[in-house]
Amino acid sequence: MDEPDRRVRRTRNALHRSLIELMMERAYERITVSDVIARADVGRSTFYAHYRDKDDLLVVSCAEHLRAEIARSPDRGQWAPVRVMLALAAGYPQVYQPLIGPKASITALRGYRHSVAVILREHFAERPGPEIDDLTVTTLSWALVGLLTAVTDPSAPVAPDAAWRHLESHYLNRKPPGSHS
């Protein structure tokens, strides 16, 4: 009974891996669905059974990958997804640079930012406390993409721990303007 699920996971992983490998070789705009399915050795109808287009593949597969990595992490704190993303970017800069680096396409950048926002929204929705509005999630996701860019900078990468400490001390633990203690 688990066999179809394994086949689906295997197919989706192959397509995701193929897209990322191709993005490491050339610009996102120059990659076609035909390139992805040829690399993954998957049929066109199989691709379209899972994804609308390559943009959908990018957003959905990045979100699935991030969810899996966050689930594997022993960190269950409020900001666990942020720490996991920083560690992943530092560990695999060659994968992140085509997504968010200086040569990333706007489609790839926005797609990855959208994946980050989806993950943050899901994470915060599962936690007790005040609801975090969409504008805050959007702002935080763009800030996190900027921080990930610094972590993956080939000329002067910022260590993930230093990036986390900076984010935490300058933005996450501040009181809102006008609040008094």
The answer to whether residue 181 scores a pLDDT higher than 50 is no
In a domain, residue 49? The reply is no
Angle between helices 54-72 and 3-25 (to 10 degrees): 110
Q: What is the pLDDT of residues 2-37, one digit of tens each?
A: 566 889 989 999 999 999 899 888 888 899 999 999
Tell me the pTM.
0.80
Q: Is residue 31 part of a domain?
A: no
Residue 130 located in a structural domain: yes
Is residue 122 a part of any domain in this protein?
yes
Instruction: Name the residue range of residue 152's domain.
Output: 54-172
pLDDT at 177 > cutoff 50: no
Average pLDDT on 102-127 reads 89
Q: What torsion, rounded to 10 degrees, do the Cα atoms 175, 127, 60, 70 define?
A: 90
User: Are the CB atoms for 152 and 96 separated by under 8 Å?
Assistant: yes
Q: Is residue 47 part of a domain?
A: no
Q: What is the pLDDT of residues 91-109, one digit of tens each?
A: 989 888 888 988 888 988 9
Instruction: Classify each residue of 22-45 as buried b or exposed e, where b means 16 or more C-beta atoms within 10 Å of its C-beta.
Output: bbeeeebeebebebbbebbebeee
Decide if 114 is inside a domain: yes
HEC string of the chain equals CCHHHHHHHHHHHHHHHHHHHHHHHCCHHHCCHHHHHHHHCCCHHHHHHHCCCHHHHHHHHHHHHHHHHHHHCCCCCCCHHHHHHHHHHHHCHHHHHHHHCCCCCHHHHHHHHHHHHHHHHHHHHCCCCCCCCHHHHHHHHHHHHHHHHHHCCCCCCCCHHHHHHHHHHHHHCCCCCCCCC
Is residue 181 assigned to a domain? no
Q: State how far the Cα of 113 lies from the Cα of 21, in Å rounded to an integer.
A: 19
Structural domains in the chain (count): 1
40/85 Cα distance (integer angstroms): 25
Contact between 27 and 108 under an 8 Å Cβ cutoff? The reply is no
pLDDT of residue 168: 86
